[in-house]
């Protein structure tokens, strides 16, 4: 039984895809524990099971084996109502901003949904507008320019920032960011990371970063988990893991990232 | 004095929108790439990097239109050539291009080998299938791809494999210069490294003579290329060797880009990421003065009056700002 301080934890979480000879173990008996207000990163190359793990934590995939505990209690998402209740506490930002929005709904509707989810359905229209404006100005977008537009009219970076504005309105306890910056350019990446971290300080949420970029993990997180073939091969504080890696896999990952102060060794691929 | 492979003089191209508005996405760009050298182009999205890549090939199709300037590939001026001649005798053999979404560039209903056959036969209809197969196998093996890839459909390959297949296909006719437009932006770090290694191998083995590499990842650019050119709103704002641009940027925009670098190295955790506020100007009606003025920290009233010229410092180093080198360096030191 996990202790009360921990916000989300999982024990022996396993996901197996396929049957018989085609069986593929995507996540293999993973234990993970998150305390409140912590920022953790899960790092691994493509196909290492990062996203599968994230989907199980979010409740989008049913684990083959293992349990997820939320705030010390076993997670219960057996009915749609309970699931919605759970999603008030855990929210996600996905990799591809272009496919995370419903293309038939305007930006106003996207933001209004968030207000409704927090029980703001009976607020006055002026109050709702004020909340939406506040959320947009938090991410340096202008609500007057966004209103009555569709999400696909924005650039990738702006869409991802709108996603953060959503999170700002929802104020979840846990945010799961699945490669939030891999589809946008380096310049907007800095803006988005900055805003995410600001938001985190404001509402004190726990953040799970999923990324293949170990540099990003080093920059944002307190604790880093390195994942290989569905298992954690190394975990610890960011400084410990990245500056003094022990596992061979971690060393390889660090070696694969282009650097500017040290020589980038191209011979080991 | 080494051989100049590609020389571009004051190239200007425009996009024409549905409403007949002209957007000058490449505005008086001059560049020079020597044999055995690689040039990197940096900048944020929407600053004209990809349009420049398309324009360099001299093959224009609406809505992209040629306005002025010259493109000289290995002594041959290709501006004003018949588009059909360009397609047959320049593209693929003189200059080749790796598109940004190389993952989607392959035809899902075609095997890789038949895709390559199409490419080769478009230039040389008399080549037999066996000859093409041998050529393809040789170049694939040289680039570290198993020959069995040739008999597969694109869906059977992973993202990194597809990307490398597209690269191998684009150099099958031994072009003199290869333009790689964000070849690794959709890949994870391990596949990215493989792709970079492959591009370096191509240069060393003499498949290609020069490389133009476009990306927004500065650490990558620094490791791959000899020279870096920073683009903003269709114009070159800074030019110099990789080391100069990364460690000693002069233009405020280039300086801002350097603030967005993330690398897993000692001490990088405490460095604060600085983002450039705002967005690039709309090129439909660009501002009369410096195009970066709206977002610049060091802006002065005279910046907004007249266009700013590219100011040459010394051999190859240039920047587009009205402030002097000394003033800029001082401002950065005090920041």
Q: What is the mean pLDDT of residues B210-233?
A: 90
For the domain that residue B282 is a member of, what is the CATH number? 3.40.50.300
Q: Is beta strand B38-42 parallel, antiparallel or unpaired with respect to B4-16?
A: unpaired
pLDDT digits (tens, 9 = 90+) for B289-303: 888 888 888 888 888
pLDDT digits (tens, 9 = 90+) for B32-55: 899 889 999 998 877 888 889 988
Say which of B219, B269, B275 has its CB closest to residue A259: B219
Q: Report whether the peptide linkage leading into residue B179 is cis, meaning its omega lies within 30 degrees of zero.
A: no
A264 in contact with chain B, both atoms CB, cutoff 8 A: yes
In terms of residue numbers, what domain contains B287? 4-103+177-334
ipTM: 0.77
Q: Is beta strand A65-70 parallel, antiparallel or unpaired with respect to B76-77?
A: unpaired
Residue B73 included in any domain: yes
CB B224 within 8 A of CB B306: no
Residue B270 included in any domain: yes
Q: Which two tokens stand for residue B334?
A: 């005090």
Chain A interface, mutation test: which of B187, B195, B224, B262, most A Cβ atoms within 10 Å? B262
- Residue B179 banded pLDDT, cuts 50, 70, 90: very high
Residues on B contacting A at a C-beta cutoff of 8 Å = 44-46, 158-159, 186, 188-194, 196-197, 200, 216-220, 222-223, 246, 256-257, 259-266, 268-269, 273-277, 279
Which CATH number describes the domain made up of A6-256?
A: 3.40.50.300
C-alpha distances in Å from residue A60, one per residue of A10, A16, A45, A51, B233:
15, 15, 22, 11, 42
Sign of the C-alpha dihedral, residues B142, B144, B150, B155? negative
Domain count, chain B: 1
Residue B119 included in any domain: no
Residue B141 included in any domain: no
H helix runs in chain B, sequence order: 49-56, 83-89, 112-123, 129-142, 159-170, 189-204, 218-224, 242-247, 252-258, 325-334
A126 in contact with chain B, both atoms CB, cutoff 8 A: no
Taking CB atoms and an 8 Å cutoff, what residues of chain A touch B245?
A: none
Query: What pLDDT, on the 0 to 100 scale, is given for residue B1?
Result: 52
| Angle, alpha carbons B211-B217-B218 (nearest 5°) | 80
Angle between the N-to-C axes of helices B159-170 and B129-142, in degrees from 0 to 180, rounded to the nearest 10: 120
Q: Give yes or no for residue B279 having a pLDDT over 90.
A: no
Q: Give yes or no for residue B213 having a pLDDT over 90.
A: yes
Cα dihedral: B80, B82, B83, B86 (round 10): -90
| Residue, of B117 and A20, whose pLDDT is higher | B117
Cβ burial of B201 (10 Å; 0-12, 13-18, 19+) is middle
Contact criterion met (CB < 8 Å) for B277 and A140: yes
Sheet holding A231-237, edge to edge: A90-93, A174-178, A206-211, A39-43, A223-228, A231-237
Mean pLDDT estimate for chain A: 86
Show me where the domains of chain A are located.
6-256
Residue B265 included in any domain: yes
The whole model's pTM is what?
0.84
How much of chain B is in helix, strand and coil states, percent to nearest 5? 35, 25, 40
> Which of left, alpha, beta for B58 (phi over 0: left; psi -120 to 50: alpha)?
left
Q: Give the list of residues 6+ apart from residue B324 with CB closer than 8 angstroms, or none.
A: none
Query: What pLDDT, on the 0 to 100 scale, is given for residue A195?
Result: 84
pLDDT digits (tens, 9 = 90+) for A212-231: 888 888 888 889 999 988 88
pLDDT digits (tens, 9 = 90+) for A147-194: 888 988 888 888 888 888 898 888 888 999 988 887 777 777 888 888
């Amino acid at each position: 039984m996990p202790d009360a301080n921990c916000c989300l934890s999982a024990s022996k979480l396993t996901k197996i895809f396929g049957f018989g000879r085609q069986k593929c173990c995507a996540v293999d008996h993973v234990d993970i524990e998150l305390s409140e207000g912590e920022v953790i990163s899960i790092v691994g190359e493509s196909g290492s099971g990062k996203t599968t793990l994230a989907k199980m934590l979010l409740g989008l995939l049913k684990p083959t084996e293992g349990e997820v505990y939320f705030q010390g209690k076993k997670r219960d998402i057996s009915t749609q109502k309970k699931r919605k209740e759970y999603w008030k506490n855990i929210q996600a930002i996905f990799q591809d901003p272009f496919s995370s929005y419903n293309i038939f709904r305007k930006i106003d509707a996207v933001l209004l949904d968030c207000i409704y989810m927090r029980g703001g359905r009976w607020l006055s229209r002026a109050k709702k507008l004020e909340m939406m404006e506040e959320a947009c100005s938090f991410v340096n977008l202008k609500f007057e320019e966004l209103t009555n537009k569709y999400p696909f009219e924005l650039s990738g970076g702006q869409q991802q920032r709108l996603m953060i504005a959503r999170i700002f309105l929802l104020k979840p306890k846990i945010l799961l960011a699945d490669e939030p910056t891999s589809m946008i350019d380096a310049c907007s990446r800095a803006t988005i990371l900055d805003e995410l971290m600001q938001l985190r300080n404001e509402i004190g949420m726990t953040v799970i970063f999923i990324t293949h970029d170990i540099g990003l993990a080093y920059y944002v997180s307190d604790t880093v988990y390195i994942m290989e073939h569905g298992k954690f091969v190394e975990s610890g504080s960011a400084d410990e893991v990245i500056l003094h890696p022990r596992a061979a896999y971690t060393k390889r990952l660090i070696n694969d990232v282009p650097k500017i102060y040290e020589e980038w060794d191209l011979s080991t691929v | 004095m080494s051989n100049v492979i590609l020389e571009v003089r004051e190239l200007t191209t425009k996009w024409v929108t549905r409403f007949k508005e002209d957007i000058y996405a490449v505005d008086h760009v001059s560049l020079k790439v020597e044999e055995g050298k690689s040039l990197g182009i940096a900048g944020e999205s929407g600053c004209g990097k990809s349009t420049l890549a398309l324009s360099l090939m001299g093959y224009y199709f609406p809505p992209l239109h040629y306005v002025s300037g010259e493109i000289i590939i290995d002594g041959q001026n290709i501006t004003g050539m018949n588009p059909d001649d360009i397609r047959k005798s320049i593209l693929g053999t003189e200059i080749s291009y790796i598109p940004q979404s190389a993952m989607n560039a392959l035809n899902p209903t075609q095997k890789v080998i038949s895709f390559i056959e199409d490419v080769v036969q478009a230039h040389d209809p008399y080549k037999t299938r066996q000859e093409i197969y041998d050529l393809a196998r040789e170049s694939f093996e040289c680039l570290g791809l198993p020959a069995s890839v040739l008999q597969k459909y694109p869906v059977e390959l992973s993202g990194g494999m597809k990307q490398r297949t597209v690269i191998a296909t684009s150099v099958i006719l031994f072009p003199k210069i290869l333009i790689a437009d964000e070849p690794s932006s959709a890949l994870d770090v391990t596949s990215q490294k493989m792709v970079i290694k492959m591009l370096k191998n191509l240069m060393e083995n003499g498949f290609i003579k020069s490389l133009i590499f476009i990306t927004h990842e500065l650490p990558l650019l620094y490791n791959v290329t000899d020279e870096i050119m920073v683009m903003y709103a269709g114009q070159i704002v800074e030019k110099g060797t990789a080391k100069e641009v990364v460690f000693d940027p002069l233009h405020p925009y280039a300086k801002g880009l350097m603030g967005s670098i993330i690398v897993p190295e000692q001490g990088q955790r405490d460095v604060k990421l600085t983002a450039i506020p705002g967005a690039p100007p709309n090129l439909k009606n660009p501002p009369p003065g410096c195009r970066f003025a709206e977002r610049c920290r060091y802006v002065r009233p005279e910046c907004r009056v007249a266009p700013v010229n590219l100011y040459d410092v010394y051999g190859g180093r240039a920047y587009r700002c009205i402030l002097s080198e000394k003033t800029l360096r001082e401002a950065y030191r005090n920041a």
